Amino acid sequence: MQNNIVIVESPAKAKTIEKFLGKDYKVMSSYGHIRDLKQKEFSIDVEHNFAPEYVVPEEKKKLVSELKKASSSAKEILLASDEDREGEAIAWHLFETLGLKAENTKRIVFHEITKTAILNALKNPRDIDLNLVNAQQARRVLDRIVGFEVSPILWRKVKPALSAGRVQSVAVRLIVDREREINGFVSEASYRVMATFILPDGSTLLSAKLNKRFKDKKEASAFLEVCKNCDFEIEDVAKKPIKKSPAPPFTTSTLQQEAARKLGFSVSQTMIIAQKLYESGYITYMRTDSVNLSDLALNRSKEAITVSYGEKYYTLRKYQTKSKGAQEAHEAIRPTYMSAPEISGNAQEKKLYDLIFKRTIACQMADAELERTTITVSVGKRKEEKFIASGEIVTFDGFLHVYMESPDEDSENLLESGLLPPVNNGDALSVKEITATERFTQRPPRYTEASLVHRLEELGIGRPSTYAPTIQTIQNREYVVRGDKEGVDREYNMLTLKKGKITDTDHKEITGTDHNKLLPTDIGMVVNDFLVTYFSNILDYNFTANVEKEFDTIAEGKLEWTKVMDGFYNVFHPTVEAASSVKTEHKVGEREVGIDPKSGKPVFVKIGRFGPIAQLGQADSKDKTNKANKPTFASLMKGQSIETITLEEVLKLFELPRVVGEFDGNEIVAGIGRFGPYIRYDGKFIPIPKDLNPATISEAESTTLIKMKIEKEQERSIRKFDKDPEMEVLNGRYGPYIAFKGKNYKIPKDADPKALTLEDCRNIIANTPDKPGAAKRKFKKK
C-alpha cells in the first residue's frame, strides 16, 4: 500500500508525474472539478452572503468514493492541481468533498512537469490559498448570477433557449460593433502614383512611389501632363542602419495569436494541443500572462544558441510582465528542456512545440541588423512632389535566423525586402512608365479569433484561462460564426503615361472578401442590441475590465469576495427587474422593411423559432379565425441579414416556393426551407449550391442538380432485391454495408459486396451479434 496519495486533474498529467515518483506514491486523477454548482438551478443563496450550493455530479460519485477510500488510509495527501485560480479551486473542492484533514493534506504546485520541478514541489508544500479560491468563486458566482437572471428575459423577449454571459456578451458586442462599423463605412477614393524609371545604363529599372496622393482624377491627370515634359534625377540617396529585436516569449494570448497566424489553429485547438504538451512534460504551464523566464531557462537557452549558432548570435534578455495583477505571474510558455528542438507526438503537437521552441530561443538571440536605403527622385523643379524608392537588406540576421513574428492581417509588414540598384546623386533618369491608379480607403478588418483575443487583452477583459472558452462559447451559442464573406465587384480607374502619351482605362476588382473571420449572426445582433439597451453596464468595456481587477484584488487577499458580489448585485438585480417589466409593441429585433405594393400589407423581418424570417402582414387581434388575415412567413437565405435586407429582396422570398419546370414527367419546385435553399423533385429534396439562387434558378440548372443526385444515389447503391425491397447493399463512408429495416450491418472482408445474394445478406444479418448496448436495452424491456 502506498503511503502517499498525489491527486491531479487529468490522467495524462498523472501518468507523466508517476514516472518521477517512487513506489511510496500513488498518483490519482480527479478528472477536473469533482463538484460544481447545480447545472439547472440557481444554486446561489443571495440572502446568506451569496453562499454557493455545490453538488457532486452523478457521474463523479463513483470517483469521489474511490478518492475517499484511497485518501483515508494514506499517510499524506498532496493536492497537485494546476497552479492558477481554477487549479486552486479544484484542490479546495477536493479537500472539502473528501473530508481531508489539514494535518496530513498539503498543496504542491509546479509550472512544468519535470523530475526536478516535481521533487522541488514535494520539498516545498504549502496550504491551500483561500484568496485564490475566493477569486475563482467570485467569478463563478457572478457569472452564474448574470446567466440565470438575464437568460429568462431573453427567452421571453427574443427567442427560447438563449443565454447571456458576462464576458461572452462583451466579446459578441465587439464583433457586432465592428460589423456595423464595416456596414456603415464609406470608402474614399484617391490616386496613387507609381513610376518605373530607367537608369543611365539604359537597362536597369528603378520602381518608386510618389510621396503624395491626389484626391481625384483631374489632379492626377494634371500631374501626369506635367510629367510629360519633366526631367527626373536622383536627388538624394540615404542609407541608415536599423536594428530589429525579437518578440518576447509566449504568453497564453500571444501563443493563441501566433498559432492562428502561422499554423491556422483555432484558439481552442491551440489550448487543447498546448495542454497535451504540458501534461506530457514538454512545455511549461500554458495558462500564463507572464513573459518572465527562469534563470535555468536563460542558461539553457544560452548553451543551445552558442553551440548551434555561435557566441555572436547570443544576447541575454530579461523580459518583464506589463500586465498588472497577473494571476499566473510565474513563467512564460517555453520548452521544459531547451536542449530538445524536437519531440515525439502527432503532427499538430510537433508544429506547436516547434513554434514555442523557436520563439523561446529567438528571444535570447542578438538583434537583426539591416540597412535601409531611401532614394529620392526629383520631379523637374517641383518642390512638393518627389518619387521615393526604399528597400532593406539584412546585414546580420541575428534572431531572424531562427524565427520572425507574423504580422496581423490589418498591419503592414515592416520588413521591406529587396536590394535597390546602385545610383548616384544627380543621375538623370528616363521614364518607362508612370501610372496613377485609383485606390480606396480600407474598411476596418473583421475579427479573427486571434485578433479578438488581442483586443480582449488590450481592454483588460478576461484572463489567460478564459479567452478560449469565451470564443468557443459565443460560437456554440450561434451568436457568432467563423466563416467567409464574399467580396463585391468594384470599378477603378487607371491613368498611364507611356512614351509621352496618357491612356485612360477602367478596370474591375473584387473587394471585401474575407476568409475564416468572426461574423455576428442575426440572433447575436438582436441579443446584443437588447443587452446594450437594458444592461448597458454589463456590456460596458470598462465595467467588465474593472470586475477583472476586483478579482485580482480578491486573489491578493485585499478584498472580500462577498462584498464584491453584494456591490454588484445591488446594482444589477434592479436592472433585471426593470428590463423584465418592459412591454414592447413588437418582438425585440423585429424591423419593418416597408409595405408590399400588391397587398398593401406591412413587411417585417425578425427572429423566428428556427432563425431569421420575413413576415408579410400582421395577425388580426380581433378576428383570429380569419385565415385571410393571418400573416405569411418566409425564411431568409444564407448571407441575408435582418439588419441589411431590403424590401425588394424580402418580397422575392415570398415568391417561393415556385415551379421551375419539369423533368422526366415530374414537377420541379424551388424554395427555402429550415436548412436552406432546395429544389423538390419526385419527393426528394436537393440542396441548391451557394452560386445559385432559388428565386432565379432555371429549369436547365435544376435538371443538372437532379441528374447529379440520381447519379450519386446510383453510385451509392450496389445491390437491390426485388423479393425484399427493404434489403440493400450500399456504398458508405467507411465502405460497403448492408442496410435492412433501419439498421446497418458490416460485410465480412472476404465477401464481394457485388456478388452477395439475398440469402447471403440474411445469413450475415443472422450471424451479426447484437451490440452490448442493444442487448442491455432488450433485457430491460423484458
The helix (run of H) or strand (run of E) holding residue 348 is helix 347-362
Q: Is the pLDDT of residue 777 over 50?
A: no
Confidence of residue 415 (pLDDT cuts 50, 70, 90): very low
Instruction: Say whether 285 is catalytic.
Output: yes
* Mean pLDDT confidence for 437-451: 96
Would you state the pLDDT for residue 464? 87
Q: pLDDT, tens digit, for every residue of 164-180?
A: 988 999 999 999 999 99
Active-site annotation holder among 285, 447, 534, 737: 285
Q: Is the pLDDT of residue 1 over 60?
A: no
**Nine-digit cell at 257?**
495569436
Q: Residue 760 in contact with residue 769, Cβ under 8 Å?
A: no
Would you state the pLDDT for residue 400? 96
Would you state the pLDDT for residue 183? 93
Distance from C-alpha of 263 to C-alpha of 664, rounded to nearest angstrom: 50
Distance from C-alpha of 729 to C-alpha of 584, rounded to nearest angstrom: 58
Q: pLDDT, tens digit, for every residue of 544-572?
A: 899 999 999 999 999 999 999 999 999 99
Q: Write down how long the chain is.
A: 782
Q: pLDDT, tens digit, for every residue of 277-328?
A: 999 999 999 999 999 999 999 999 999 999 999 999 999 999 988 765 554 4
Q: Is the pLDDT of residue 613 over 70?
A: yes
* Mean pLDDT confidence for 1-21: 89
Would you state the pLDDT for residue 626? 61
- pTM confidence score: 0.84
Q: What is the mean pLDDT of the chain?
A: 91
Distance from C-alpha of 153 to C-alpha of 576, rounded to nearest angstrom: 8
Q: pLDDT, tens digit, for every residue of 187-237?
A: 999 999 999 999 999 999 999 999 999 999 999 999 999 999 999 999 999
**Residue of 668, 198, 215 lying closest to 430 (CA atoms):** 198
Confidence of residue 139 (pLDDT cuts 50, 70, 90): very high
Q: pLDDT, tens digit, for every residue of 645-658?
A: 999 999 988 888 88
3-state secondary structure string, 355-395? HHHHHHHHCCECCEEEEEEEEEEEECCEEEEEEEEEEEEEE
Distance from C-alpha of 51 to C-alpha of 566, rounded to nearest angstrom: 12
Three-class SS of residue 436? strand
Q: Maximum Cα–Cα distance for the chain, whole Å?
A: 102
DSSP 726: T
Neighbouring residues of 175: CB distance < 8 A, sequence distance ≥ 6: 446, 447, 452, 474, 480, 518, 519, 520, 524
Would you state the pLDDT for residue 780? 37
Residue 167: how many other CB atoms lie within 10 Å: 23
H helix and E strand count, the chain: 20, 30
Side chain identity at residue 530, one-letter code: F
Beta bridge mates, 242: 370
